[in-house]
Amino acid sequence: MEPKDYVEVECLHETVQGVLLPSNQKDFTVIKLSNGYNIGIHKRNIKNIAVIEQKKEHKEKPEKVSQNEKLPKVTILHTGGTIASKVDYTTGAVHPQFTPEELLGLFPELKELANLNSRLVANLFSENMRFDHYNVLAKEIEKEINAGARGIIITHGTDTLHYTAAALSFVLENIPVPVVLVGAQRSSDRGSSDAAMNLISAVAFAVNSKFSGVAVCMHENDDDTNCVVIDGLHARKLHTSKRSAFVSVNRPLLAKVNYETKSISHISMPEQTSGTFALKLFDPKIKIGWIKSHPHFSEDEIVKDVDGLILEGTGLGHFPIEQVDALTKEHVKIKKKLTELAKKIPVVMTSQCIFGRVNMNVYSLGRTEQEMGILGNGLDMPPETVFIKLAWLLSNFKKDIPALLARNFRGELSERTEQDTSY
């Protein structure tokens, strides 16, 4: 017998029928019952299994959907995640849907918005993203722009979506079209899935706005009214499972998209850049360390053999570097090691607080850190964006990193802190 066969399992106390499912538990047989639930039966409790009907391979052939060539051309590049998937309720398996026909079958509203092109670039969980993948995506985006795409949508797992948004913001210099990253917090087999709303809203924004740059489009809150559009350098995931997991850090939202009407309310649109579109890619060999300050921090926790180091400090940007009593002698070692590193590589301070600005001028501790050579004073980027920017600078410029870190390349820095936009 094979997985997907319809079987009858005679157990010690009852007999059940269902679809045989694959299982990585060697001592259990897993059956999907007709009510949709899966059960695992220990093999010692099974007297006999008989195949009632062998599996039938059923491949859906998507219907050919005519598209309106007069509509703006939009390309969807897939990197994985649950946003474009369809569930086989016979087995419970989730099948990716990547071709234009498959996507239009899942989300027919799209054909009213754009002339759609769609293809797979990578298929991986977002935590497996590396600098190489950012380069691959950038080159694919360049191809689509050269082929006449009015906008690019990137489907992406949500866990590191904001890293990719920041990376593409730096790589894509003078990008002439919108590049919108979109994900789903809840899989498409759930009634509360946000996949359709997020994707359709992202396409609506791409074709109906004058925005050019990199942005993130996700749910605004727990209802199904609006999606928010967030600048790619200031997006941050703040919740593990809520549909409204993404917020804009230290910047107003770019826009809101009403899902029902597809109308866009522009809240804060950046000035459009002019210049030649070009790619400034990452060097995959660059290594960036990242350490987080915490009580009882040890000198041994400081990473070595890296090209740059991010310090995620407390408050305004502080690390335990002062000996204040007999119990804090370790802090002298921490100060010495960080000072040595800052003479060799860029060491950049960020804050655990996420919102607000690093300010190492307020307390003497911060001023000492600056004297040690620690950079980052005045930065108001999320820590993830600081990480990405440092890696990008080291990939493309090498020299004078302190001055370049404080230079505003893509609108990642602001002269003044915005009013609270976080809640």
Which of the residues are catalytic? 82, 158-159, 237
Q: Which residue has the tokens 């939009």?
A: 74
Cα gap 223→232, rounded to integer Å: 23
SS3 of the chain:
CCCCCEEEEEECCCEEEEEEECCCCCCEEEEECCCCCEEEEEHHHEEEEEEEECCCCCCCCCCCCCCCCCCCEEEEEECCCCCCEEEECCCCEEEECCCHHHHHHHCHHHHHCCEEEEEECCCCCHHHCCHHHHHHHHHHHHHHHHCCCCEEEEECCCCCHHHHHHHHHHHEECCCCEEEEECCCCCCCCCCCCHHHHHHHHHHHHHHCCCCEEEEEEECCCCCCEEEEEECCCEEECCCCCCCCEEECCCCCCEEEECCCCCEEECCCCCCCCCCCEECCCCCCCCEEEEECCCCCCHHHCCCCCCEEEEEEECCCECCCCCCCHHHCHHHHHHHHHHHHHCCCCEEEEECCCCCCCCCCCCHHHHHHHHCCCECCCCCCCHHHHHHHHHHHHHHCCCCHHHHHCCCCCCCCCCCCCCCCCC
